[in-house]
Structure 1
Amino acid sequence: MTLIRLHNRQKNSKFSFYSKNALRSLTPKLFYQRRLRYLLNTLDQYDRNYIASRIDYYLKHTHAFTLPNEKSVAIRNYRKKGQSAYFYDLKEYLNYFDHNFKVAYRFGDDTHIEPYPFLVKARPVHGDNDNAVLFKLNKVRHFNFIHDSKSFREKKDMLVWRGAAHQEHRKQMVRSCYNLHHCDIGQVNENEGQVPWLKGFLSIDEQLDYKFILCIEGKDVATNLKWAMSSNSLCMMPKPKYETWFMEGTLKAGVHYVELKDDCSDIEEKVQYYSQHPEAAEAIIANAHEHVHQFCHPQREKLIGLLVLKKYFELSGQWQSRHE
C-alpha cells in the first residue's frame, strides 16, 4: 500500500489542483464508468472491516431513503455555480457513476441538517446528524498535511495562533488570550482597526517554530487542524463541535490533542504542564500522526469515496443489480 509523502512545501498547490481537474474534464466519461468495476474490485486488497467502518461513519443511514426531486440533481446536469474547489472535488467521483443518478449536496460552511440525506463538507459532531453525509470537499484548503523537520524539543516553548476572528467565540478568545505569558495569539483581520490583539501574519513554516499550536473552530472545523496534527508541535483545542472527512469526532482528548476549556481560559496551565512533561506531549503527537496517516493512502481514500457514493445510490434506490 502506497503512502503519500508529507510534502516539504507547506500549502497545497492550487495550480496543480485545477490543472488536474482540467485534464479530468477532457477524459471520456466512458473511461470512468468502465474503470469503476476495477476500482471496486480492489476492495480485497484492504481491511474490509476498516473500510466499512469509514463508510458507515460518513454515511450513517442503513435503510432506504428517497431523495426529493426538487433538492437533487442528476449527475448529467451537475454544473459549476461558484465554489470551484467543492465542485471539482465532487465531480471527480461523480464521473464514475451513471449520469442519470441523482445526488443532493450542499457546498460551503453551512452545517444545518437537511430533512433528507445530502453530501456536505462538515456536520455537527453531536445530535441527529444522519442526513449529513460527509464527503471530502474543499480538500485543497483543508487536507494539507506537511513535513516538519523540527522535533518538539527543538521548538520555542510557546503556543501560537493566527487567524481571522469573525465569530464571537474567536473574538472573545483573542481578546482574553492575546497577551498571555508564553502565548503568541493574534487576529489578522483588520476590520476592528488598530486593536492590541491585531498581529502580523505568520506562515505555516513560522508557526512550526512553536511547541504548541492552538486550533480553534470558526464557522465549522479549524482549518489548521490537519497540518497541526501532522506536525511535531502539540495541538491544543476545545473539544470539536464539528467534523469532516477527517473524522474529528473520533479524536480523543489526551490521546490525539490537549483539550482546552471552551473559552480557552486554561491555556497557560496546559502550556506550562506540557512544557514540563515533554514525553507526554510527544506521546500525544505520535498518536496524532497515526490518525493523520489514515488519510495518506491515496488509492484507499479514492476507494472509500467511491464506496460512500455507491452506498448513497444503493440506499436511494438508484444502484441496481446490473451495476454489480
Structure 2
Amino acid sequence: MKLTSIRATAVALLCALGASTAFAQPDNKLPAKPIRIIVPFSAGALTDIIARIYAEKLSPRLGQPVLVENRPGAGGVVASQLLLKAPADGTSILFVSSSHSVNQTLQSKLPYDTKRDFSGLALLASSPTVLVVNANHPAKNVKEFVAMAKSKPGEMSYGSAGIGAATHLAAEYFNQEAGIKMLHVPYKGVQEATAETVGGRLDASFPPVGLALPFTKSGQLRALGVTGMERSPMMPNVPTVHEQGIPNVDYSIWYALVMSSKTPKPVMEYLAREVRAVSAMPEVREKLLAQGLVPQKLELAEFDRFIAKDIDKMGQIVKSSGAAAE
C-alpha cells in the first residue's frame, strides 16, 4: 500500500473515531454561564451555610462560577417558583429543607406539584431540631415548659422560618405530641426567630442543633430538648424530648438539592456525580459535622422515592396539627 494511501486511511479512521466519540459523549455539559443555587431562606440560615459550602467546592470542579441566591418567602414557595421559571438547563438548582415535602399538603393552592415538577439531585445532610428558650425563661426542662404552656393555652409563643418551614412543623409536631397550643410567629428565617428568642420576645424556637449551639454555649439560650431519638453529639448533655416523657417525638430536618423535572437526565447525572465528589471531601464532611449535621448520600431516583414517602409522612403531621398556610 502506498504511503499516501496509508495516511489517508489513518486520517479517515481518526475522523470516524472522533465523530463517534463526539456523538457518544453524554450531554452533560452546562451552558457557559454562572450556576446559581437558589436558597429559600435568608442569609445566615443553615440552608444558606450549607449551600455556600457546596457552591465553593463545586465551582472549580464545574469550571464556572456557582453563586448562592437567597429568595426567602412563603415557606419556600417563592424560591421554588423561581426555579421552575428558569431554563431547565442545569444552571439553576434549588436548595431545600424538609419544608419542600411539607408544602404539598400545607399549601391549599400550591402553584406546582412537588412530585411532578421537581427531581431530586442529592440529599446532603440532616439534623434534629432543639427546643430552646431564653436563658432567663422560667422553664428549666421540657416537663416544666409543657406545664407552663398547658396553664395558659395559646399565650406562649414560638418562632419559625415561616409557615410550612421545617422549623414550623417541628414545633407543630411537638405541640401535637405534648398536647399543648402555642402562638406561632413566622419569620423569613429561623435565625431571626432564634434571635427573637435570645431577646426574650418569644418563649421558644426550634432551630437546628448547629444554629442553636453558639447561643447555648454563650449562655444566651437554654436548650430544653432535642427532637431526635438520640442525643446530639454537639449537645451531649441535652436530653431528647423522648427521654423527657413525650415518646413519639422523632423529628429531623433534611437538607438537599433539587432541580426542575424537565432537566435532561444526563445533566442531572453529571451534577449528581460532582455533588457526590464534593460530599466525599473530608473538609466538607468536617464542616457539616461542625454544624451539628449528619451527612447523607441519597441521590436521583432513590432520593425521589425518599421525597415521595416524606410528603406522605409530613402530610399526616400537617393534617393532625391543623397547620395551614395563611
Q: TM-score, normalised by structure 1?
A: 0.28
Answer with 1 or 2: which has the greater Rg. Answer: 2
Q: Which has the higher contact order (CA 8 A, sep 6+)?
A: 2
Q: TM-score, normalised by structure 2?
A: 0.28
